[in-house]
């Protein structure tokens, strides 16, 4: 089997389940040693790490709430200490709190920005201190940055749209060092948080060109491409994988 990421060292935030777990396993399959962060459910996080280790790489589960900037930076530092460096950072952790604007709580607004934006900046700022030429920073955004077709999603959409600008700016900052920065924007993906059989599934499928949910593995494949050597000339981009949700 080809291992284009052999001996690369990666950190995936929010990597214990769903899209994050799929990314952890895909990077491991391609040869990368992978650390992942989680908030709760250590058994689930350790199970994902063990699945990565079964592919012949080192793996590490780190408890860290992405709303805590110090915990985010510490997770990066621990990854570097355990693996001897970091080559790939996948900012996957994110939350979505949906409510009408009149009812939206300020504490939910603040936590959404802390997890979806500040944590991305803090993790990137910490990781790039150790990255060499060829380093990769990949954020997981959302197609809702471009289209929010229902009420109650203003703050979530704002946080994901802001990632587009952050990625463009970081790409300019880090390009001279040979580090690429890109954003992946999934549409409806079949996970425990948004199952293909959920209450909103039929409505979402009706908005798509391909009338099905995507899989975590499909998103992970795009992330693996951006992490690999063939994507060395891709930076500052937001790549949408949404079944035509925004078409």
Q: Which of these is catalytic: 38, 104, 130, 156?
A: 156
Task: Give me the helices (H) in 59-200, please.
Answer: 69-83, 106-113, 119-127, 154-174
- Comparing CA positions, the residue from 75, 26, 175 lying closest to residue 8 is 26
Question: Which CA distances in Å does 84 have to 79, 130, 131?
Answer: 8, 10, 11
Query: How big is the chain, counted in residues?
Result: 247
**CA separation for the pair 48, 25 (Å, rounded):** 8
What the block records as the tokens of 198 is: 């959920």
Catalytic-residue membership of 38: no
Residue 228 tokens read as 């690999």
Torsion of CA 189, 190, 191, 193, to 10 degrees: 80
Q: Which of 1, 2, 53 is nearest to 229 (CA)?
A: 2
Active site residues: 156
């Amino acid at each position: 089997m080809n291992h284009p990421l052999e001996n690369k060292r990666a950190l995936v935030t929010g990597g214990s389940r769903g899209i994050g777990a799929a990314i952890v396993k895909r990077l491991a399959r391609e040869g990368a040693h992978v650390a992942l962060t989680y908030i709760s459910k250590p058994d689930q996080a350790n199970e994902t790490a063990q699945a990565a280790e079964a592919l012949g790489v080192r793996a590490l589960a780190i408890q860290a709430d992405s709303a805590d900037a110090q915990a985010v930076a510490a997770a990066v530092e621990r990854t570097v200490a355990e693996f001897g460096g970091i080559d790939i950072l996948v900012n996957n952790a994110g939350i979505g709190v949906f409510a009408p604007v009149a009812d939206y709580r300020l504490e939910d607004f603040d936590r959404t920005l802390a997890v979806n934006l500040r944590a991305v900046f803090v993790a990137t700022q910490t990781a790039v201190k150790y990255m060499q030429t060829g380093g990769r920073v990949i954020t997981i955004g959302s197609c809702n940055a471009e289209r929010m077709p229902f009420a109650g999603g203003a703050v979530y959409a704002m946080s994901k749209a802001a990632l587009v600008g952050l990625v463009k700016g970081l790409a300019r900052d880090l390009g001279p060092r040979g580090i690429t920065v890109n954003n992946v924007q999934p549409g409806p993906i079949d996970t425990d948080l948004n199952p293909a059989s959920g209450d909103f599934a039929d409505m979402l499928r009706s908005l798509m060109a391909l009338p099905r949910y995507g899989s975590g593995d499909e998103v992970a494949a795009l992330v693996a491409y951006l992490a690999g050597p063939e994507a060395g000339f891709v930076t500052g981009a937001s790549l949408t994988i949404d079944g035509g949700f925004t078409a």
